[in-house]
Amino acid sequence: MAQVTIYSTPTCVYCNAAKAFFKEKGVAYTEHNVGADMERRKEMIEKSGQMGVPVIAIDGELVVGFNQPKIKQLLKIS
């Protein structure tokens, strides 16, 4: 099983869509609310160079935004 981490905020539509997708596909993930956790926000920006969410890490590969084809490719699912 891939290690999946999502940096998100509660009001982000694309973050919520990504989390719903993971749940639908049975993909376990770790979530970091960068709206409330400043350390995780800093970590996300350092890793991705982005301030927008979601930022999704799949086995160390970063996906900025809810790029479903890229996520499926990294997770090796259809």
pLDDT at 1: 84
pLDDT at 53: 98
Q: Each residue's pLDDT tens digit in the chain (78 positions)?
A: 899 999 999 999 999 999 999 999 999 999 999 999 999 999 999 999 999 999 999 999 999 999 999 999 999 998
pLDDT at 38: 97
The pTM assigned to this predicted structure is: 0.95
3-state secondary structure of 45: helix
Q: Using CA atoms in the order 3, 74, 25, 4, what is the torsion angle rounded to 10 degrees?
A: 20
| Structural domains of the chain, ranges and CATH numbers in brackets | 7-75 (3.40.30.10)
3-state secondary structure of 70: helix
Q: Residue 11: how many CA atoms within 13 Å on its side-chain side?
A: 2
Segment holding 71, helix H or strand E: helix 68-75
